[in-house]
A and B are shown apart, each in its own frame.
Chain A
Amino acid sequence: MNKMQRALRELTEMDDLAAQDSVMHRLHPTAKLLSTILYIAAVLSFGKYQLSGLAVFLLWPVLLFQLSGIPVHICFYKLRFVLPLVMAVGLFNPFFDTAPLLYLGPVPVSGGVVSMLTLMLKGLLCLMASFLLMATTGIDRLCASLRRLHVPGLLVTLLLLTYRYVGVMTEELAVMTEAYQLRAPGQKGIARAAWGSFLGQLLLRSMDRAQELYSSMLLRGYHEHFHYAPVPAFSGKDALYLLLCAAVFLLLRLVPLAQWLGGLVVR
């Protein structure tokens, strides 16, 4: 399977997840979008050593994974994009910040190690949050919600159309790549001689495709106005969910819950 086929599989996977039904799926997309942003903001607002404060935030995605019935392993697969830069940045911290921050019994733990772990945990939490948003919402409902949040129509329509053609183009390139590899066994990538023409050919065809697509839109009465998926009205239930999220995040951000819990056990 080449990179493009993998990407396609990931796309269809997300579509499938979003097509399921659960309490989380039924929530208004705007409520989910805003609560996710609040969550990520709360997580990112923690200082670099506040590992224990952050740990409590793990509960929210875990709870949501359960409520939505979304399998968590797909999310971990996506860590491969998140981790490299986070690791590259975080791994240096233990080298630079060597002062012990606390002792686990006799073992000292340096500030750098704590800040590295904090950084990685942040990476994981944010990933889970945005993954959950998309896995329970899907592109069409997200676009409808974005439009209601007054994101310019041009941009939202572009997102919707591009999403559709990402599938088409990726599939086409996957086939082209396979055809190329069949005729160039043992080559890792596209050879110098074909650098321009490989994508260039597809690019030219794409321009014709765009023209045809535009015709298709025109023939169906398109005039500067797009219709988005119907989204049920923002109900009291959605508002309650959003308020609850905001309150809980604020509380967890301000109250060192993990510290208290630990205090009950340790001393």
Chain B
Amino acid sequence: MIEFQHVSFAYEKERPVLRDLSFKIEKGESVGLIGANGAGKSTLMKLLLGLLQGEGRIFVDGTPVEKSSLAEVRRKLGFVLQNSDNQMFMPTVYEDMIFGPLNYGLSREEAERRVDAVLERLGLQELKHRHNHRISGGEKRMAAIATVLAMDPEVILMDEPSSALDPCNRRVVINTIRTLPQTKLIASHDLDMILDTCDRVLLMSGGVLVADGPAQTLLRDRALLEAHRMELPFRLSGC
């Protein structure tokens, strides 16, 4: 579904952010992208979304991510931003959710049906006509996920979906992620959440992919994690 072939990227020539990255994600996989701050996780996401252009080739469902194919590629990808306020730019949840579908040419009736279906699936019907600056942090995160789901993407990318949420809201978000059938790529420091939601983990450090393996094995490897400024998930740390 997603393929990176020798991808490198640098904002300034001498200081590369990503170096020769290659990996493949199959359809239906849930992949966690972990690494310390500045490891290059966000940059990787932006390259995949075509918001940045680097060296090497990136494919989404066989289509190369290039200027000419951006619309087609982006249609398949749904990106949940870390800061929901930046994601939700319309006054109400409903208008935000319908923004994407309308842009992709759905009629208002079709788009609205889709919005309603997503809201119902996530149990968020009562948020529909609420104002974005009036809903709580947890609701906002769920609404942001709903916004992306309303576009019916084939791949869902998430940047720190569990950040700044209380335990209960965090759990709601995790459970929601688990029920999503799409291919998922989730960047996070919340290794407990990754353990709950992903079957495979990519560990990045200093712009390089240092490990790629099943979540259950990789997230138990204390030496590996600590060598790259991470620590064992709380649940596996034995305390």
Contact = CB atoms under 8 A, between A and B. Distances in A.
B99 A213 contact: no
Interface in A178-214: 209, 212-213
A92 interface: no
B91 A160 contact: yes
A164 B91 contact: yes
B102 interface: yes
Contacts of B81: 212, 215-216
Contact of B103 (A11, A161, A220, A229): A220
A76 interface: no
B24 interface: no
Contact of A140 (B51, B74, B91, B104): B91
A26 B61 CA distance: 47
B127 to A, nearest CB: 13
Interface string B35-47: 0000000000010
A222 B108 CA distance: 16
Q: Which of A12, A216, A217, A218 has the largest number of chain B CB atoms within 10 A?
A: A216
Given A140-B95, A212-B86, A221 B75 contact: yes
Q: Which of B51, B86, B92 has the largest number of chain A CB atoms within 10 A?
A: B86
Given A12-B134, A164-B133, A215-B51, A221 B104 contact: yes
Interface in B11-32: none
B178 interface: no
Nearest to B151: A220
Nearest to A229: B95
Contacts of A161: 89
Interface string B45-80: 010010100000000000000000001001101110
B222 interface: no
A202 to B, nearest CB: 14
B83 interface: yes
Interface size class of B (residues with CB under 8 A): 20 to 34
A148 B102 CA distance: 18
B75 to A, nearest CB: 7
Contacts of B91: 139-140, 160, 163-164
Contacts of A220: 99-100, 103, 147, 151
Interface string A153-166: 00000001101110
Contact of B131 (A15, A212, A215): A15
B71 to A, nearest CB: 7
A217 B51 CA distance: 12
B144 to A, nearest CB: 9
Contacts of A1: none
A97 interface: no
B128 to A, nearest CB: 12
Q: Which of A15, A164, A209 has the largest number of chain B CB atoms within 10 A?
A: A164
A20 to B, nearest CB: 12
Contact of A227 (B85, B98, B147): B98
A221 B95 CA distance: 14
A217 B79 CA distance: 11
Nearest to A168: B85
Contacts of A171: 133
Given A212-B81, A221-B74, A221-B75, A164 B90 contact: yes
Interface in A101-142: 139-140
A90 B92 CA distance: 41
Q: Which of B85, B95, B129 has the largest number of chain A CB atoms within 10 A?
A: B85
Nearest to B99: A220
B87 interface: yes
B132 interface: yes
* Interface pairs A-B: 10 shortest CB-CB: A221-B103, A167-B133, A220-B100, A212-B86, A227-B102, A216-B87, A221-B104, A168-B85, A213-B86, A219-B79
Given A212-B86, A219-B49, 18 more contacts: A12-B131, A15-B134, A19-B129, A139-B91, A164-B89, A164-B133, A171-B133, A209-B85, A215-B46, A215-B49, A215-B51, A216-B81, A219-B74, A219-B79, A220-B103, A221-B71, A221-B151, A229-B95
9 contacts: A15-B131, A140-B92, A215-B81, A216-B81, A219-B49, A219-B79, A220-B99, A221-B103, A230-B108
